[in-house]
Amino acid sequence: MASTPLIIAKVLVPRLSPDLLYRPRLVDFLHEHIDRKLILISAAAGYGKTSLLIHYAHATDLPVCWYSLEPSDNAPCLFMEYFIASLRQHFPNIGQRALALLRESSEPALEPAVNLLINEMRDQVHQDVVIILDDYQEVGENPLVNTIVNRLIRYLPDHCHFILASRTLPPLLSLTALSAQRQVAGLGVRELRFTPAEIQALAQRNYHLNLSDEEARALADRSEGWITGILLTTHTLWQGLFQSLARVQGVGGQLFEYLANEVFRGQPEDIQHFLLFTSVLREMSPTLCDALLGIDTSAAMLHRLEARNLFISRLEGPGEWFRYHPLFREFLEQKLRTEFPIRYRQLHRLAGQLHQCERRWDAAIYHYIEAECPNLAAQLVEQIAARMYERGQWCTLTRWIDMLPQQTYDQHPMLKLWRAKVYTELGDLDEALKLLNEAYQGLQEERTFDRRARILVERGNVLRLMGDLTGAIADCQAVLQTSDHVGISTIASAHHVLGACYGLRGEFTESAREFENALYLYRQARDRENEAYVYYDLGVIYQMMGDVSRSLGYLQRALRYWEMADRPWALVSALNSLARNYYYSGRYAEAERIFEEVLYKAREAGYIRVEAHALAGRGDLHRDIGRLDKAIRDYEASLRAAQQIHETRVAVYAMAALGDAYRMQGQWSMAWELLQQALLLAEQHGFRYEVGLCELNLGALSCDTGKLSAARRHLEQAYTLFERGGARRELARAALQLAYLEFISLRKQKALRHLTLALEIVDQTGSDQFLFIDGTRLLPLYRYAVRQKVGLSHLRKVCERLEQVGRAKVAALPAVRMVSQKMHLLAFALGPSRVVKDGHLLERSVWGSVVTRELFFYLLEHRYPLRKEQIVDTFWVGLDEERANSNFHSTVYRLRRAIAQDVLLYEDGLYRLNPELEIWYDVDMFQELIYQARRPDLSLRERERILEEALDLYQGDFLVEFYSDWCVPQREALRRLCLEAILQLGKIKADGDDLEEAAALFESALELDNYREETYMLLMQVCALRGDRDGVSYWYRRCRDALAEELGVKPSNGTTQFYYELVNGL
């Protein structure tokens, strides 16, 4: 992504003008609360937020990184660039790797870039620093920017303090956790209002006027303390106006409007005209003003305005750029629009053309909209949409499209295509599909098919991501059937999407064919970027088909391009696939080395998807060489990572592999549960390859548990799926498991036939690695085949290696850890935490300290191996290393003394709860019941019973007595589940005419979330069913008042309409 020139003035602390009123009570508040992670200053325009921040920034001894926001900062990448630029005012080396990552790709990965920046801050910034984000309302409703800010606030060190100033309370900031930890402070309208004493001080200092206490109180009462930016600076022309203002009666509008009119009317006519006609510009230079007005005197005029202090500010940085005070510009522009409406539109249209010539797209589109020329704006957006999308500036593109009137939007269907592509990137597939359908419908009358074809391909891609592979394939095939009228790039994209669809269906031969077609066409179109992606996709597909040699060839081509083009994300993905190929070739040492390298790079950059893949691959490697404990840890970590990013296919793979590893350990019930879950997910999403893996592993499990008929059914289904899909390596594994099934069923000739088929695939692919998977179990079959002189060239070597591994494992077996006899634990975390051991409550004195009990629940929530450093950073961050280590070890000692010596295992430098512990945990049971209640096959009575049981468990918020960061996400997640259960149960009660119980449930839901309009609507509905018209009105008023008081918003149109429908029906 190309770098955008930055306006340096936005990241410099504004100069401290001697005319600004110093407000010590507010500056002192900032000093006293700067130890908090976040201070939020929220009030409407004109309350002196920025002036307060300027005073504080110049008063504090701490380094201050300043960032003034504006609408264009809604582009997340641009936000990141400016944020880093503000940090660099004090820390010049910060953000180099993050910026490189943002700029290296047409689709920058924001989360990895944020993670890199956080890591750099932790490494380089070891002192307190204040980060000020002024005018945060400009980005306050942007989900991506708020995700970035939330992540920065959460993970930056405690010595990084944020101050946000906003006209509105930012709705997307995660304030709950910070509030619970007492890490947030705030100033609102009540605190920012000017007091009578401050009004007196302002009058005396700036205007040498002595207002009486009565006059100051009267002015404060009439203005409600709103003294606006005009009164925060000195203007000599105000002499005599200020005192009369205190006595003025019956002013029709806001104080600012009155004063602005007085100021404007006192100016010469040429200045009035210049002020009016240039007010259409948000920022202005002499050259731009000259071009707009057709004059050559703008430089002199701007200097006159500056000399007269006419609410004009000079912007710092290269060249002469100015802007009016936002409130004064609003007044001027409104006056121009009212008195000269035609001139107003003409000036905006000309300003749009001037900005378009200078490639200032954002300003050009704004002016075209204001000029009521939406078609010009739409044409410009269509012209530059591809460039903005490829650079990853999705939020800016979305904002431009959303500025257009609906009629104009409907007249430009291709804009819906770009809007849909952004929705797809953001994961809102339903909205993307809706827009693509509308766009396609809007082009039905068009004679040429090319634009409709582009929409069909994109719709096919969305359907693929939604799991509707049949629909996706149909759309792409429709494009290919009319390819004579379609551009070559669109045809290539159709083949590319088809290849991905067939791959997901497990039809690898068809997938490879479509990718080859896409590759040929991308080469013709000279599209090197997409050509490299197809190389990668072909490498993965041939890897799945067991053709390691061809896979390596394609992956190496992709690697060469991405090394040349500097695409680190793609490079790490390709390296992971390369490690897989080494693993399939039996080159375990090289594979393990590359997996480790991939995991290091993926974690460093925050590539969670690649990390999930690499963990699964390394788990397979550990499994094959007998390290089952390590394999299970890797599979569990892979599953967590995949679930975190909703990567269902990887999650299914990890779940199936985890189930198979538990089978190898003899934990058959756990294996069966995991494999059934994985199979259900794979079938729901149409992942035929993964369905085959689940059937294969279920077949092996059925064999081990003596269910031979079920084993045969599962294995034959797996064999059929792999054969149809062309997955030769897995086909060989299925044949191998069928051979074992026949062997233990004493059908030894059939066993040899299946084994021979598997060995033929070894000869075809050149890889015998799969023969070692579960090799110890299969060793009797291999030995029998050797005695029968079947597959000698392969099986002799396999038997020798497996026997060597077996002898080594016996020699290295560790002592078996047994959990204390007859120990049963009950752990309660919903509400006040408590632990019951063998029927006895563990009192506070038993634990020795509160942190000991918290550590137990922390380990219970993190049932995977943890490094000591991870635990120390959670509980004793900020202590020196010696003190932290001492606290850790003494807490572990107390934990073992409270429960059992073997409660905590230490293996390979990692700690975890002993998996053999029998622990009933109310959180696990609560979550399990909620998930059971979601099953579509339940009767209403069963669902009601399950929900009631779940709510009985929820005795309060998760670990309410602990304020550590690690508790907060789970606490919030469980609250959401509880709210879901309450509303579901309430609806069931209401449907069953148990209106009293339904109402009580809905009212309890308000205790969890007082701003959820759905709950108020349900309460209104219950009242309507009772015939209680007053009750309907009462709950509507409660909803309205709650939203207004806390959020400053009104109920949605849907809620209001629902209310009137209920009232009118009673």
Count Cβ atoms below 10 Å from residue 356 Cβ, excluding itself. Answer: 20
- Does residue 966 register a pLDDT over 70? yes
In this prediction, residue 249 carries a pLDDT of 32
In this prediction, residue 242 carries a pLDDT of 42
Percent over 70 (pLDDT), the chain: 88
| 760-767, Cβ contacts within 8 angstroms, sequence gap of 24 or more | 761/546, 761/728, 761/729, 761/731, 761/732, 761/735, 762/732, 762/794, 764/546, 764/728, 765/546, 765/547, 765/548, 765/728, 765/729, 766/548, 766/549, 766/585, 767/546, 767/548, 767/584, 767/585, 767/586, 767/729
Paired with 97 in beta bridges are none
3-state secondary structure 899-925: CCHHHEEEECCEEEECCCCCEEEHHHH
Which of 626, 646, 666 is the C-terminal boundary of a domain?
A: 646
Which of 588, 622, 646 is the C-terminal boundary of a domain?
A: 646
In a domain, 344, yes or no: yes
Contact 435, 412 (CB under 8 A): no
The whole-angstrom separation of Cα 760 and Cα 747 is: 20
In this prediction, residue 220 carries a pLDDT of 66
Count Cβ atoms below 10 Å from residue 1007 Cβ, excluding itself. Answer: 9
Q: What does the CA dihedral 728, 734, 735, 739 come to, rounded to 10 degrees?
A: 160
Residue with token string 């180099």:
96
Answer yes or no: do 422 and 515 share one domain: yes
In this prediction, residue 609 carries a pLDDT of 76
Contact 686, 667 (CB under 8 A): no
Answer yes or no: do 266 and 142 share one domain: no
- Does residue 802 register a pLDDT over 80? no
Which pLDDT band holds residue 347 (cuts at 50, 70, 90)? very high
- Does residue 165 register a pLDDT over 70? yes
The whole-angstrom separation of Cα 711 and Cα 695 is: 9
The whole-angstrom separation of Cα 590 and Cα 654 is: 22
Count Cβ atoms below 10 Å from residue 239 Cβ, excluding itself. Answer: 11
Count Cβ atoms below 10 Å from residue 861 Cβ, excluding itself. Answer: 15
Average the pLDDT over 3-31 and give the result.
80
Count Cβ atoms below 10 Å from residue 731 Cβ, excluding itself. Answer: 24
- Does residue 83 register a pLDDT over 90? yes
- Does residue 789 register a pLDDT over 80? yes
Phi–psi pair at 606, nearest 5 degrees: 80, 25
In this prediction, residue 236 carries a pLDDT of 36
- Does residue 5 register a pLDDT over 90? no
- Does residue 569 register a pLDDT over 70? no
Answer yes or no: do 85 and 182 share one domain: yes
The closest alpha carbon to 550, from 767, 719, 794, belongs to 767
- Does residue 819 register a pLDDT over 60? no
The closest alpha carbon to 36, from 187, 186, 178, 183, belongs to 183
Answer yes or no: do 21 and 151 share one domain: yes
For residue 493, with 0-12 CB atoms within 10 Å meaning exposed, 13-18 middle and 19 or more buried, which class applies?
Answer: buried
In this prediction, residue 675 carries a pLDDT of 93
Answer yes or no: do 443 and 351 share one domain: no
In this prediction, residue 820 carries a pLDDT of 38
In this prediction, residue 567 carries a pLDDT of 65
Answer yes or no: do 348 and 453 share one domain: no
Please give the distance of CA 221 from its chain centroid, rounded to a whole number: 46
Answer yes or no: do 446 and 304 share one domain: no
Domain total in the chain: 6
**3-state SS, residue 68:** strand
**CATH number, residue 27:** 3.40.50.300
The closest alpha carbon to 260, from 285, 279, 284, belongs to 279
- Does residue 716 register a pLDDT over 70? yes
Residue with token string 């693993």:
583
- Does residue 204 register a pLDDT over 60? yes
User: What is the pTM for the complete model shown?
Assistant: 0.49
**CATH number, residue 573:** 1.25.40.10
Pairing, β 919-921 against β 904-907:
unpaired
- Does residue 174 register a pLDDT over 80? no
Q: In what order do the strands lie in the sheet with 825-828?
A: 840-841, 834-837, 825-828, 919-921
* Model confidence pLDDT, tens digit, residues 631-650: 999 999 999 988 876 778 88
Please give the distance of CA 440 from its chain centroid, rounded to a whole number: 30
Which pLDDT band holds residue 206 (cuts at 50, 70, 90)? low
- Tokens read off for 907: 């293996």
For the chain, what is the mean pLDDT? 82
In this prediction, residue 45 carries a pLDDT of 66
- Does residue 875 register a pLDDT over 60? yes
Paired with 313 in beta bridges are 323
Q: In sequence order, what are the residues at sequence separation of 6 or more whose Cβ sits closer than 8 angstroms to the Cβ of residue 228?
A: 45, 46, 254, 255, 256, 327
* Model confidence pLDDT, tens digit, residues 905-916: 877 667 888 877
- Does residue 1010 register a pLDDT over 80? yes
Which pLDDT band holds residue 688 (cuts at 50, 70, 90)? confident
CA-based end-to-end distance of the chain: 60
366 vs 2, higher pLDDT? 366
Which pLDDT band holds residue 808 (cuts at 50, 70, 90)? very low
Contact 129, 161 (CB under 8 A): yes
In this prediction, residue 862 carries a pLDDT of 83
Answer yes or no: do 542 and 639 share one domain: yes
Q: How far, in Å, are 69, 90, 91, 849 from residue 78 at the CA level?
A: 11, 20, 19, 48
Answer yes or no: do 508 and 537 share one domain: no
Q: How far, in Å, are 438, 442, 484, 498, 504 from residue 478 at the CA level?
A: 18, 18, 12, 11, 20
Average the pLDDT over 1032-1044 and give the result.
89
In a domain, 720, yes or no: no
- Does residue 112 register a pLDDT over 80? yes
In this prediction, residue 285 carries a pLDDT of 92
Which of 149, 167, 192 is the C-terminal boundary of a domain?
A: 192
- Tokens read off for 424: 């797809």
Residue type, 468: D
Average the pLDDT over 837-849 and give the result.
75
Find the angle CA(229)-CA(231)-CA(236) to the nearest 5 degrees. Answer: 120
Contact 727, 689 (CB under 8 A): yes
In this prediction, residue 209 carries a pLDDT of 72
SS3 content of the chain, % helix, strand, coil (to 5): 70, 5, 25
Percent over 90 (pLDDT), the chain: 21
**CATH number, residue 877:** 1.10.10.10
Contact 643, 609 (CB under 8 A): no
In a domain, 706, yes or no: no
Answer yes or no: do 520 and 545 share one domain: no
Contact 733, 584 (CB under 8 A): no
Q: Residue 272 is part of which domain span? A: 209-370
602 vs 282, higher pLDDT? 282
In a domain, 668, yes or no: no
In this prediction, residue 268 carries a pLDDT of 87
* Model confidence pLDDT, tens digit, residues 218-274: 766 655 555 553 343 333 333 343 444 433 333 334 444 544 555 677 788 999 999
The whole-angstrom separation of Cα 50 and Cα 68 is: 9
1018 vs 584, higher pLDDT? 1018
Lowest average pLDDT, out of 651-660, 734-743, 812-821, goes to 812-821
In this prediction, residue 827 carries a pLDDT of 85
Pairing, β 825-828 against β 904-907:
unpaired
In a domain, 866, yes or no: yes
Average the pLDDT over 728-739 and give the result.
89
In a domain, 362, yes or no: yes
In this prediction, residue 907 carries a pLDDT of 73
- Listing DSSP states for 529-588 in one string gives HHHHHHHHHHHHHHHHTT-HHHHHHHHHHHHHHHHHHT-HHHHHHHHHHHHHHHHHTT-H
Answer yes or no: do 538 and 619 share one domain: yes
Answer yes or no: do 865 and 943 share one domain: no
For residue 255, with 0-12 CB atoms within 10 Å meaning exposed, 13-18 middle and 19 or more buried, which class applies?
Answer: buried
3-state secondary structure 389-418: HHCCCHHHHHHHHHHCCHHHHHHCHHHHHH
Average the pLDDT over 828-852 and give the result.
80
The whole-angstrom separation of Cα 421 and Cα 433 is: 10
In a domain, 1020, yes or no: yes
In a domain, 402, yes or no: no
130 vs 804, higher pLDDT? 130
In this prediction, residue 301 carries a pLDDT of 93
